[in-house]
Structure 1
Amino acid sequence: MRRFAKSLFGQVVIALILGVLAGLLAPEWAAKLKPLGDGFIKLIKMIIPVLVFCVVVHGIAGAGDLKRVGRVGVKALIYFEVLTTIALALGLVLAFVFQPGTGMNVDTSKLDASAMSAYASNADKLTSGGTVDFLMKLIPTTVVQAFATGDVLQVLLFAVLFGCGLSMLGERGAPVSAFIDTLSHVLFKIMGIIIKLAP
């Protein structure tokens, strides 16, 4: 039990149980703890774009041969598509079997629409202009803007291009590649510190 309590997984499980108890026994006080969760999420979001950039660039530059990178990328895309399709099908089947929300008698006219506004605006951004508009939004106005806004898809596009360029440089790009590898290790250490706040 002591070993379980010392592990990060054990601490997260204990924190979840305490969170449920706080929500049941003192809901007003528990609601005041929301900034802790919001702060944790912001810390994670803060580091994700740079971490994605470093990992993708180092992966592409470290592979050396761009043809091999392309083959791995195609395989990864196929795996992603297949597994996403399976997950969607499983989700639909489970929704039809278990019918979540049935019998709750919720009056939709009294629900707070503002809570869904962020999700609706994101969905609208992705679907309003069609495929061409979506692809154009993948290209940032500037590289700095992609990192500043935290748009991971734009960062990913730049990282792929940067990694390919670095790979084409060969030995001349080795110092930059080594720097990015070291930077990614530093970022993983920072992520480790942030993850300790999870409980």
Structure 2
Amino acid sequence: MHDDIKKAVEVLKNGGIILYPTDTIWGIGCDATDEKAVKRIYDIKKREDSKSMLVLMENPALLDRYVDEVPEVAWDLVEISTTPLTVIYPGAKNLAANLIADDGSIGIRFTKEDFTRQLLQRFRRPIVSTSANISGEKSPDFFDAISEEIKDAVDYVVEFRQEDRSSSKPSSIIKLRPGGQIDILRK
């Protein structure tokens, strides 16, 4: 795992794209502050850039660096969540402009999974996390279900957990609106 993290961090620092296991499903990722790398992910996925992607972070204490104003309820949601939860926050900042939704929001998930947590700690910036599939196709349940087209398009494929067949599913998604209103987008 250590070598995988070291290689992945090197690729990310050089503006590259990685294919990696997350706390939910396998994802395609890059430096969330690098507009060119984010554009490459949209191209790889054949996805419209109007459909925003989320970012992974390992520490809620860093949230203020990337969101203008964190609604108080957000801290409670992050603290009590026992399963992967993506929260869409208003007022994104300090991220690639093409990663931020038209309404200025950004989806952020705090990972507790060991590999991604260590990767984020070493990289010291948020990482894009989007499912490892072409837009509109089914998200792959396991590494072996990821298309060769995706595998060939990235700069580094993480070896860790390629044999893992544990059941996984995408995160729940909620959107926080100014004033603390919550919309549930995916359970």
Larger fraction in helix: 1
- Do these two structures clear the TM 0.5 threshold for a shared fold by scoring above it? no
Give the TM-score taking structure 1 as reference length: 0.22
Larger fraction in strand: 2
The structure with the larger Rg is 1
Q: Which has the higher contact order (CA 8 A, sep 6+)?
A: 1
